[in-house]
Structure 1
Amino acid sequence: MGASETNEARAVALHADVIVDAMRRGLELARRGPARGVNPQVGCVILAADGTVLAEGWHRGAGTAHAETDALSQLGPGAAAGSTAVVTLEPCNHTGRTGPCAQALLDAGVSRVVYSVDDPGQRSRGGADRLRSAGVDVSSGVLRSEGEALLGDWLTTARLGRPIVTAKWAQSLDGRAAAADGTSQWVTGPDARADVHARRAAADAIGVGTGTLLSDDPSLTARTSSGELYPTQPVPVVFGHREIPDSAAVRHHPHALVHLPGDDLAADLVGLHALGIRSLFLEGGPALISSFLTAGLVDEYLVYIAPVLLGGPHTALTDIGVGSISDARRLTVDDVHTLGDDLLIVAHPKGHA
């Protein structure tokens, strides 16, 4: 290889290193934005032809400038012409509270766009194709695994178009959620209950049916073992048509109650997703969880099993549309935990990623 070829190869390698370094910086910037809500965390770095950083930006939350627009806003007219935009997520291609980032990059004269993760949104994706059709050099997949890890559940919910649904219930060894007289406090012990509350605190929303709400009057909060509220609380969601009394404990929740009819659970989930809810923690009762299960809308199961026998009619699930063993809803067990005297089985529908 001649000297000129060696220098050219080094220049290409250096350029690749510059792009990777800029993407790492973009991921750092993205983490400054809110981790929850309807929008993803996104960072952007604008590079000059020689690799100099011209501007940086990140998304600060719903209704604010997207990362690309935020970075471009720091440059004067024409300053971005011929530059490279390094973005952690494919530039969006739709108009919401803000305009499409793909068009903003075109208007600024950016000649190259490099991004980490493809946008899976039905409305927002397509920015890469729009840019390519206008003559912009576009490449993707730089630090993809890091980009996907950053986006986390936003990426999953964007692909699903709804929140991730976790169904939780506690039961006796013989599959009962309550004794014959209806009492259910407490089927499981304190270690299991503490685990439940920690998982509540990690969820965006917690859901119950009106039957459970009216019979048990739950507060739907996440509390520590000492009874104090966790710093983060799930939004309370109640499914069903029956009225919720003004005196209900859930009326005193730190977040406003979301009351949904429950007639079309898939549509209800789309509505929750539009509110920025990425994860829904279903607490019951058996009828509501069975309805979600039957509709194929449960992504994860948390089954707390106490070493007690109760008998009686109060089963943990109701009819789930299984008429024969061939119709059984098969699960894949992901983990088994011992919590005091109880067991926690974590599982997901077989064949469901």
Structure 2
Amino acid sequence: MSHFKVDWEVFPLKLKEVFTISRGSKSQVPNVFLSLTKDGFTGYGEAGPNTRYNETPEKVEEYFDSLPGDFFDEIEHAEEITEKLEGLNLSSIQSAKCAIEMAWLDWWAKSQDQPLWRLWRIDSPTGPVTSYTIGLDTPERMQKKIQEAGQYPVYKIKLGTDRDREIIQAIREVTDKPLRVDANEGWVTLDQAKREIEFLATQNVELIEQPMPADEFELMKKLKQWSPLPLAADESFRGNEDLREIEEAFHVINIKLMKIGSLVKARQVLKEARSLGMEVMIGCMIESSLANAAGTLLALEADYADLDGHLLIGNDPFSGLTVLESGEIELSEKPGFGVSK
């Protein structure tokens, strides 16, 4: 029996503009791309390690290097991958696990000559409207970014500063489109969070992501009871938390593949969240069209999409993921995730 040929490379994704959130700025992001080749088909996976979760490209490479040469042999279902990885007893690098499963799924669907969304028995390749992120900057620069991104129907605005109202007021001078706000844990007291949300509730804001630090869970429970706007868990939700507890503090969970480490698990969590009456957003880090296509596969069954990482970079190594004029994100009919290198 032939073995899979396994390769990977670190590829710096270069942002079109410096990207700033409340925790810092970046101009490029070194993601790690994995390829699996066998029987004439190549599947691709992407790891987007984030230092917020103590992950680096070097740790991802070490994880890949620790895989036995026959790791992918005799795998018949993606569900088996997580079990095999757990059996290796390696340090948990979620973005690496995600890339491994992603590459196998892409290879498997290509070997079946089918798009993954069809193999997963999803009716349509068209998902919800994706937001387009406007990173922190001066109010004037954020106005310009909005105007340059005039084709998108919903904007995600990074906040969590001492000038949040000034930023929103400036944005409202140039657009009346719906906004989603991401404070990235930037509001540190309950009173501050309430003041900001009270203002944002008058500004055509759809929801607010992670208003307070993840370790302020008890305060978040109080904030949810009061909030006139839906609150979404991002840093507060990595993937293994008890959703019944998360539901006490948030209306929405933001599932990110690089945090949860598995499309299969993400889909299970999505269904569980829905059963608890929560809404689900599928989000992303700074990623290429490959990882965002994997996210789109999940978003086909979700309420919100925030899958614009590939739109923020200038050197996307993959193509084939479409954002329609309506803002809806759409997978192709091509096999696998439907993107090409």
| TM-score, L = length of structure 2 | 0.28
Structure with greater helix percent:
2
Larger-gyration structure (1/2): 1
- Structure of higher RCO (CA pairs closer than 8 Å, 6+ residues apart): 2
TM-score by length of 1: 0.27
